[in-house]
Structure 1
Amino acid sequence: MSLKKSIVVILLILLIDQISKIYIKTHFALHESLEVFSWFKIYFIENDGMAWGTKISDFVSFVDDRSAKVALTLFRIVAIFGIGYWLYDATSRRRPVILIWAIALIFAGALGNIIDSVFYGVWFDDSVSQVAAFLPESGGYDSLLHGKVVDMLYFPLFEIDLPEAFPFYGGKRFNFFEPVFNIADMAISTGFLLLIVFNKKAFPKSH
């Protein structure tokens, strides 16, 4: 798989990711949902932290959320250059196709969420109790590097009441699958899954 084909894959994923996010941002208010099937909903939330809404300040209490947000975004930008070089090296050395696919998916997903984090605070106004406008005359809801990642894919496949004897969560309502995510998250997860499942094909041992 050549570098050019990899770039086409990346651009297609980015296009789908950003179109879906911009559509949700300009057609849904925050926490508004639309049931597509009983097990699948479009549910608009925004994530200003790491995976599943985690924040750096949850682990490092002396760092305020805004500073942590900038640090996380800058780290992601540095990381994307590293992933980009990895992709370039893999295509140049004609590494296995499964490895190149995985890297391209991870790169596209990471870049998709970086765009949100860097630009969405400037591109959109707030979504709280209203549908946001794109490039509003009054300005965005925050400054550069302080954008929030748009998530909307929600799969509540089933809910059960756990028995009292169940460790830690006994007597509570369990919802599977709880996290809300986006196309970029799917690309990243798929890329890592390919590396795990097809590890031997992606990283063949040289004899």
Structure 2
Amino acid sequence: MSLKKPILIIILILLVDQISKIYVKTHFSLGDGVKVFDWFQFLFVENEGMAWGAKIPGEYGKLILTTFRLFAIVGIAYWLWDSVRKGGSKVLIVAIALIFAGAFGNIIDSVFYGLIFNDSHHQVASMFPPEGGYGTLFHGKVVDMLYFPLWKGYLPEWIPFWGGKFFTFFDPVFNIADMSISTGVGLLIAFNKRAFPKKKTEEEE
């Protein structure tokens, strides 16, 4: 596979990801949502840190996280280029392209959104507001909006630790970039042998 196809995948995912984020950011205030089905909603939240809302504590935690993401994206880009150069399998190349696109999409939020949007608390944010953004370079928040509460209810009492408690499956709110990363990782796990075929030894040949 040539490099053109994975680049096309990356561009398409980035476009869908950023268009959806910009739309939500400029049409919803934080916490607003639209119920599409009982099991699917658009719910605007912002993620200041890593997956599942985890954060690196301290004054420079966000800066450290964003810097790490930038180094990671360079490594993923090299992995993609090297896999194409070495004639890697289509599954591997597509998976890396999906992971790269998702990681890059969230990096755009982390690096630039603090500069180009104002705050979304109790208001709909404006893009490029004259008074400036809500943060500085490298201190943006990742926009999430896809929410799939597939089941809500109280768990049976016999379940250890969580029995009798109210539980939602699936609770995290995520975005297109997160979906892209998860799909890429899922492909590597599900089609591991096709993604990383073993080279035949001389005896096997």
TM-score, normalised with respect to structure 2: 0.96
- Equivalent residue for 1:141? 134
- Equivalent residue for 2:67? 74
- Equivalent residue for 2:190? 197
What is the Cα deviation at residue 113 of structure 1?
0.1
- Equivalent residue for 1:2? 2
**Alignment partners' CA distance in 1, 2:101 and 2:156:** 42
**Alignment partners' CA distance in 2, 1:49 and 1:25:** 18
Residue pairs, 1:52-63, within 5 angstroms: 52-57=52-57
Residue pairs, 1:18-167, within 5 angstroms: 18-57=18-57, 64=58, 66-167=59-160
Q: Secondary structure of the residue that 1:204 maps to in structure 2?
A: coil
Q: Percent identity?
A: 63
**Alignment partners' CA distance in 2, 1:160 and 1:138:** 45
What is the Cα deviation at residue 4 of structure 1?
1.2
CA-atom RMSD in angstroms: 0.7
- List per-residue Cα deviations over 1:143-181 (Å, max 9, x = no partner): 010000000000011112112221111111111100000
What is the Cα deviation at residue 5 of structure 1?
1.2
**Alignment partners' CA distance in 2, 1:171 and 1:37:** 26
Q: Gaps (5+ residues) in structure 2?
A: 201-205
**Alignment partners' CA distance in 2, 1:185 and 1:49:** 13
Q: Secondary structure of the residue that 1:36 maps to in structure 2?
A: strand
- Equivalent residue for 2:203? none
TM-score, normalised with respect to structure 1: 0.95
Q: Secondary structure of the residue that 1:56 maps to in structure 2?
A: coil
Q: Alignment length, in residue pairs?
A: 200
One-letter amino acid matched to 1:8: L
What is the Cα deviation at residue 2 of structure 1?
1.2
- Equivalent residue for 1:179? 172
What is the Cα deviation at residue 56 of structure 1?
1.9
- Equivalent residue for 1:60? none
**Alignment partners' CA distance in 1, 2:162 and 2:82:** 46
Q: Secondary structure of the residue that 1:95 maps to in structure 2?
A: coil
**Stretches of 4+ moved more than 3 A in 1?**
none
- List per-residue Cα deviations over 1:66-92 (Å, max 9, x = no partner): 411100000000010000000000111
**Alignment partners' CA distance in 2, 1:71 and 1:197:** 32
- List per-residue Cα deviations over 1:31-67 (Å, max 9, x = no partner): 001001111000000001000101122xxxxxx1x41
- Equivalent residue for 1:168? 161
